[in-house]
Structure 1
Amino acid sequence: MGLGAMGKTVLLHLLVSMFLGFWSLSLVKADDPYLYYTWTVTYGTASPLGVPQQVILINGQFPGPKLDVVTNNNIVLNLFNKLDQPFLLTWNGIKQRKNSWQDGLMGTNCPIPPNSNFTYKFQPKDQIGGYTYFPSTLMHKAAGGFGALNVYARPRIPVPYPLPAGDFTLLIGDWYKTSHKALQQYLDSGRTLPFPDGVLINGQTQSSFSGDQGKTYMFRISNVGLSNSLNFKIQGHTLKLVEVEGSNTIQNTYDSLDVHVGQSVSVLVMLDQPPKDYYIVASTRFTKQVLTATSVLHYTNSKTSVSGPVPVDATYRLHWSMQQARTFRWNLTSNAARPNPQGSYHYGKITTTRTIVLSNSAPVINGKQRYAVNRVSYINADTPLKLADYFNIPGVFSLDSIQGVPSGGPAYIATSVMPASLHDFIEVVFQNNENTMQSWHLDGYDFWVVGYGSGQWTQASRKGYNLVDALTRHTAQVYPNSWTTILVSLDNQGMWNLRSAIWERQYLGQQFYLRVYNPIQNLANEYGIPTNALLCGKAVGRHP
């Protein structure tokens, strides 16, 4: 049947619209430069705590290379795995807009086999700030393979502070002398990890940062450790908080800052003290034994080395820490990656479509220590969930495998996936009934941290929410026997990991996947499978 005049007109308009769409897309791509990297992952030997041990190197470096990029840069990174185990990197805090194919988790990607490679292709779309990358496979994070990923604002987008004279990145975290394989054996045998052996700053216990008296410097601080919250301070200097995980903040000043596992903060420090050397200190929080790492802030005109006792904050200050967290506020008048003000999105006036309450626990299952969310202890499937979903492979996961509220009964092991609808606006309550510190991360998103409280969350707790200028971030801490609430706009379709940032708990099941879905398949909602996608499990033999 032929097209009539009306049909030809409609077809012509459609073709013109498609041409203009592709043309405009090419213009956008022309403004977004491509950055190409080749990384090789190997084992090596280092002595971060004074004892030689096996570590994971990237291009021979421990920690790995620092990625300095600009908002909307396209990153093409070819990763060669020369380890004796499968390996993946995940990009902590990078939203991967419509692209969970590049997330680098066992639920989204097949791990890179030994002596093989995979090319990541992703873009920090409309993001700025300090982020990190690290291995998501097994216990590789305990051996290294992590590094900094700093996303700078485009030159035509102003930042809400004078440009600093220098920019320092500090990766802080607890560390074990024990090998990552031995730590994994601890966990596989049903035991919990022992207390760490030390704390590192940029892979060392001692390092130095130099600056000129009277000038101001940026310090980007990320907790890349396995389990412990850390307190950060610089002797004799105040820390002006300016950015947290992609959000410009109200610029309060602090004597010290608590940085929990998986979190990143950026501060400005003015070198306004007498010219000498000062301690930079990272020390464990909420621990009976206090572990400390020090670096040196060196004034270029200093003739005096650091001396005297290392200044360490009192360790058990839970109320103080929660109060400090409440002072982290969104700078409503500042832009971030885009020119429009952050406060132009009035999150507090949006009606939530659903409330999810997540309760963590530490059950013993089949005689072994596990960790669970709403009674379910997650276990990886042989086939990545993203591939199973794309190819419609049955028997890999079930959408009723975890409930959205806690319930009674024994804990059990399952590959847990929770369904959610694209464009929902949800309330998530992290209820921590354990006497331990928790830290939760959601891949693919940032979220508003609207409330912290002690004891049990109730609907009345909403009266204390900050619905005006709560901070957006990708990782939120939950204090012992307390709750934390976040609000999330589910605008990023895909299969996204919601997990404990405390790696032992993640490894033993305190995680699940959030399937953000729209039944109408559209490239405007989500990109298609990459042509270079690795296939494994039940997806072997399928065609991308």
Structure 2
Amino acid sequence: MGFLRHSVICVFLVIAFFGYSLAEDPYKFFTWNVTWGTIWPLGIPQQGILINGQFPGPRIDSVTNDNIIVNVFNSLDQPFLISWSGIQQRRNSWQDGVFGTNCPIPPGQNFTYKFQVKDQIGSYYYFPSMYMHKAAGGFGGLSVVSRPLIPVPFPAPNGDITLLIGDWYKANHTILRRTLDMGRSLGKPDAVVINGRGPASGATITVDQGKTYRLRISNVGLSSSLNFRIQGHKLKLVEVEGSHTVQNVYDSLDIHVGQTYSVLVTTDQPSQDYYMVASTRFTSPVLTGLATFHYSNSQKKVSGPIPGAPTEIVWSLNQARSVRWNLTASAARPNPQGSYHYGNITITRTIKLANSAPFINGKQRYAVNGVSYLPSATPLQLADYYNISGVFTAGGIPDSPRGGSGYLQTAALSVEYRAFIEVVFQNYESTIQSWHLDGYSFFVVGMDGGDWTPANRKGYNLFDAVSRCTTQVYPNSWTAVLLTFDNAGLWNLRSQTWERQFLGQQTYVRVKSPVKSLRDEYDIPHNALLCGKAVGRPRLPQ
């Protein structure tokens, strides 16, 4: 009897173990070697950042809840970090890849990122977050498709294509960094590139006639909003940064710095080649990037006038307001997106953040509510974990603009864990802004001209506002977002205009659970790199 009981227990344990193993989400492994290389986006040689010899870098294809393991070897002669724009890193800001959470990978060494695309679908990208490396490449696409049993609100496309569009400078990234270090503006970019190629040597996208393709379009540039269009073809919007959208059809789309849109394009035109265009918005002169949308049975080269773009800000504003959540579509989970009624939740706090461009100590800086972020040699996440004092000021960003001249400070914005908060991005300047928050998506409930006041809440979209991680703020205007801060950690809130981010228009949002628990936030990884005042501190055993 004892032997039988022992055998039954063993069988149960074996079944339990293998059942857990079989239920565990899949792993995908990547090994990347990051090197310098000569690239020619504008027909002249430039020092670029290659990943496994590629510019742009390789695309990561994943499925909801996949575990992504990326072993990055830094073969540059400079420290290096990669960040994963839009990937929420649930409970795991240790993998976010920005200098406020991670020590950089030293030259000649490697670091393995380990993260899960937990409860996410959609179109994203990765990029190098240190210095001005983003101006040299090192970026690539990242897609997360739904699990097989989760319905998708459109038929499976015949192809899935990543388009990385952005402005580009002829100057080497080291010159751009030196310019900013001297407190000077970068000035206007020189061109627009599509998949790493300028208008003279444009990229070619080959498609078959009579098919439908999904295009995942990311603006990975440094400063310019871009209008994207394809000659003779319509763009059906289906997804924005992880949210299925109402499937509006557009002739062109404004895609602001750091944003990603996913569209369906049907190749229903005569068999020839067509212009694919990305041109700057709100700039003078207008810069235009060109690529070729090539039908595989093409009988004619690209011809005719390059299709034009709208010029008015109001057109862009109205289009932005037309992008709405598809309430009946399932995203990463079986329940429809609309089952989450964000409009019924009580706001517990309002934070109004105004960008500005002060001169501090005779140098150009940029600021958030007057505070120009000063990077610390010790990442804020490490300082917080080890209780290292003197690294940053928690709560150093006021909840509203206070006027006066700007000042330098390593400051963070502290919020209560799981609080539902209204954040208003106020832009008093004459240039368009683009804001991104790591670790989260937020509901873009309103945007308009002028100075935001509580009376503007009457016009909020509390029904089907799109949920995304990057939003634009038009000149002399405001944009309001709502979100629940339920992802513990320290998360970078930044301008996506890289000059502004580099010179201080960023901060970190400190979201800490009142109870130290792995349910709310993971412990420091055993392979975490330590730097600054954290050198020599203990880590978890492997």
TM score, norm. by length of structure 1: 0.95
For 1:185-228, what per-residue CA distance to the aligned partner results, in whole angstroms no more than 9, with x for missing partners? 11111110121111111101211122222211111100000000
Structure 1 Cα separation of the partners of residues 512 and 450 of structure 2: 34
Residues 48-447 of structure 1: pairs in structure 2 closer than 5 A? 48-205=41-198, 206-314=202-310, 316-447=311-442
Contact kept in structure 1, 2:450 and 2:476, CA below 8 Å: yes
Q: Distance in 2 between matches of 1:123 and 1:455?
A: 40
SS of structure 1 residue aligned to 2:354: strand
Using the TM superposition, name which of 295-304 and 275-284 deviates more.
295-304
Question: Could you say if the C-alpha distance between residues 164 and 371 of structure 1 is closer, same or farther in structure 2, counting changes exceeding 3 Å?
Answer: same
CA distance in structure 1 between the aligned counterparts of 2:514 and 2:297, rounded to whole angstroms: 64
User: What amino acid sits opposite 1:246 in the alignment?
Assistant: G
Measured after TM superposition, the shift of residue 26 of structure 1 is 7.4
Match of 1:463 among 458, 471, 486: 458
Deviation string 1:510-539 (CA, Å, 9 cap, x unpaired) is 000100012210100011100000000000
- CA deviation profile, 1:145-178 (whole Å, cap 9, x unmatched): 1000011111111210011111111000000110
Give the deviation of 1:28 after TM superposition: 7.6
SS at match of 2:393: coil
CA shift for structure 1 position 300: 2.1
| Contact in 1 for aligned 2:448/2:478 (Cα 8 Å) | yes
Compute the displacement of 1:23 (Å).
6.2
Structure 2 residue identity aligned to 1:169 = T
Native 8 Å contact 1:283 1:312 kept in 2: no
- Per-residue deviation at 1:93? 0.2
2:235 touches 2:252 (CA, 8 Å); kept in 1?
Answer: yes
How many positions carry a matched residue from both structures? 525
Runs of 4+ in 1 over 4 A off after TM superposition: 22-26
Q: Distance in 1 between matches of 2:165 and 2:171?
A: 18
- Equivalent in 480, 492, 497 of residue 485 of structure 1: 480
Secondary structure (helix, strand or coil) at the match of 1:323 reads helix
1:273 is displaced (CA, Å) by: 1.4
Counterpart AA for 1:498: L
Q: CA offsets per residue over residues 111-167 of structure 1, 9 Å max, x none?
A: 111111110000110111110000110100000010000111111112100111111
> Equivalents in 1 of 2:139, 2:376: separation in Å?
25
Judged with a 3 Å threshold, the aligned counterparts in structure 2 of structure 1 residues 540 and 200 are, in CA distance, closer, same or farther, namely same
SS at match of 2:62: strand
Amino acid across the alignment from 2:302: V
Q: TM-score, normalised by structure 2?
A: 0.95
Equivalent position to 2:529, from 523, 534, 543: 534
296-305 or 241-250, which moves further after superposition? 296-305
**Structure 2, unaligned stretches of length 5 or more?**
1-11
Q: CA deviation at 1:408?
A: 2.2
Conservation of the 8 A alpha-carbon contact between 1:135 and 1:141: yes
Contact 2:231 2:307 in 1 (8 A): yes
Over the aligned positions, Cα root-mean-square deviation in angstroms equals 1.6
CA offset at residue 78 of structure 1? 0.6
Question: What displacement does 1:404 show?
Answer: 1.1
What stretches of structure 1 of length at least 5 have no aligned partner?
Answer: 1-18
Q: How far apart in 1 are the matches of 2:476 and 2:483?
A: 23
Q: Which residue is equivalent to 2:492?
A: 497
Task: Tell me if structure 2 keeps the 8 A contact 1:64–1:147.
Answer: yes
User: 1:25, 1:234 → 2: CA distance?
Assistant: 51
Deviation by residue 1:310-356 (Cα, 9 ceiling, x = unmatched): 11214x31111000000000000000111100000000000011000
Distance of 2:16 and 2:192 partners within structure 1: 52
Structure 2 residue aligned with 1:10? none
Secondary structure at 2:394 match in 1: coil
